[in-house]
Chains A and B, each alone.
Chain A
Amino acid sequence: MNLAPYLLLATLEGLVQASVFALTALGLSLVFGVMRVVNVAHGEFFTLGAVGAWLCAMLLPGHPAISFAAALVAAPLAVGALAWAADRLILKRIDYDPEATIVSTIGLMYVIQQVVLMTFGPDARAVDAPFWYTIRFPWFGWSGYKVFIIVVAVALVGGLWLAMRHTRFGLIMRATQYDRETAQNFGIPVDRVYAAVFALGAMFAAVAGVLVVPNSQAHYLMGHDPLLMSFVVVIVGGLGSLPGTVAAAVLIGMADGWLSVFFSPTLAKIFSTLLVALVLVFRPAGLFGKAVRA
């Protein structure tokens, strides 16, 4: 049996999975890293991105590329604004207390989910891909749109890394992450940084939601799996570690691709579960994580 086509397909599908995992999990990791908030509503921001893409497709008939491009800009901005408001109205008021934020983001998750259900109904909504192009390999054809997903993810992850390392806002975010009180002592408006980071984290999830929807349809419960996989990725990579999150997303995404193609998707889920269990037992701070400062 010639394994090459299977291996190639598994690798390509794994890269797409890794891209979506990285985008979604980076938002969660960023929020935890800077704010020490475990955002249980993160999956709903993913859902809102997908629903936003469907809404744009409804509002802007014509070539799907136009509505998709609009969604790629408008949906993350709208979701970011919602997250910013949630930070101001909920998280700031409970002073970012770790336990209280978990409970309140569970509440936020439920509210968003029900509002999406009441507004858009329980049906899955399909959205056309912005373009149709098939890449011809000797053994099979593969969607060119999936390459687009990988390219956007790499660009956004790279852009975030560059922003964190080489911009003033990145420096402010890193300083706030290391020591909130000292950052405040040097004139950094920590509350505003938190609101911006919460919005940015949500925007990353929303972009992932927009990118995924041509492949998987928008649905009010679609945020569960991305939330779960984001937690898997950040636990394995190390909570708050951006390089760790990307490395774990690639590891789990590729494993998911290979195991799903060669064995079964169930085995891929068993692998990621086992990986989380092993990391929790032998390296609780994650592969790239450090002990959290009090």
Chain B
Amino acid sequence: MTLLRIEALDVFHGASQVLRGLDLAVAGGEILCLMGRNGAGKTSLMRAIMGTLPRRAGRVLLDGTDISALPAHLVPRYGIAHVPQGRRLFAELTVAENLEIGEMVRHAGQRDFALSLFPVLGDRLGQQAGTLSGGEQTMLAIARAICAGPRVMLLDEPTEGLMPSAIATIRSALIRLRAEGVAVLLVEQRAEAVLAMADRVAFIAQGRILAETPAEALRADRALIRRYVGLG
């Protein structure tokens, strides 16, 4: 069942249009990977869904409810959580305080679940977030989003610059979220990561979805990735 549906979304950065009538849908229990070159509109799409980048036209529907007109701070309360590019942790707050910020959104009582996915964070609850390693910071960013009790999770390049062991932990967590019925929209540049966990892949260029394909097709023919985005 489709949880997140984006219809004919137009978004501008000043005078420049970054999303052009973009359509996309993600179902519960599905990982949809969004691939595209730098500047294609991936991050803008995520910010537009969260309402922090103003939408000029189009709609964002969550489980059939139009949330396009909501103020940005109310969007997460409907069950959309965002792990932004670069993690954007509250670096001077502790790990526990970062998780508490996530819990304030819907009081979903997800902290234990989040810590079960990333046990290393449980040992670092009193530590300042900014002093964690890169991999741990990404885990905290995802755990913080999980604490918000999401039905839809947006992740913007979460594995960028991480060690293989951290990537494996994050991949396991996302697969577990999928099993819990969460709709995952994942921006990812690394083909290996995409092929390892995606159910479907959408290719974006110049603010439009060029093509959507089952990940199975890409696993069978990896040349498709090169054809659409030149990534390999």
Contact = CB atoms under 8 A, between A and B. Distances in A.
Interface of A: 168, 171-172, 174-175, 178-179, 181-190
B90 A174 contact: yes
B82 interface: yes
Interface residues of B, number: 26
A236 B38 CA distance: 42
B76 A178 contact: no
Nearest to A165: B97
Interface of B: 50-52, 71-74, 76-77, 81-82, 84, 88, 90-93, 97, 100-102, 104-106, 144, 148
A188 B73 contact: yes
27 contacts: A171-B100, A172-B104, A174-B90, A174-B92, A174-B97, A175-B90, A178-B91, A181-B52, A181-B88, A182-B84, A182-B88, A184-B51, A184-B72, A185-B52, A185-B76, A185-B82, A186-B101, A186-B102, A186-B105, A186-B144, A187-B73, A187-B74, A187-B105, A187-B106, A187-B148, A188-B73, A190-B73
A218 B76 CA distance: 48
Nearest to A190: B73
A182 B84 CA distance: 8
B98 to A, nearest CB: 9
Given A184-B52, A188-B73, A178 B92 contact: yes
Contact of A174 (B71, B72, B76, B93): B93
A175 B52 contact: no
Nearest to A290: B92
Nearest to B129: A178
Main DSSP-derived SS at the A contact region: helix
A184 B105 CA distance: 10
B104 A187 contact: yes
Given A168-B104, A171-B101, A189 B73 contact: yes
B129 to A, nearest CB: 10
Nearest to B47: A181
A186 B77 CA distance: 8
Contacts of B92: 174, 178
A219 to B, nearest CB: 41
Contacts of B93: 171, 174-175, 178
Given A186-B101, A186-B105, A186-B148, 16 more contacts: A171-B100, A171-B101, A172-B101, A174-B97, A178-B91, A181-B52, A181-B88, A182-B84, A184-B52, A185-B52, A185-B76, A185-B81, A187-B104, A187-B105, A188-B101, A188-B104
B88 A179 contact: yes
Contacts of B102: 186
10 A-B pairs closest in CB distance: A187-B105, A182-B88, A189-B73, A187-B76, A178-B90, A184-B72, A185-B82, A184-B73, A186-B101, A175-B90
A9 to B, nearest CB: 40
Contacts of B90: 174-175, 178-179, 182
A185 B50 contact: yes
A187 B147 CA distance: 12
Contacts of A175: 90, 93, 101
Nearest to B91: A178
A232 B76 CA distance: 41
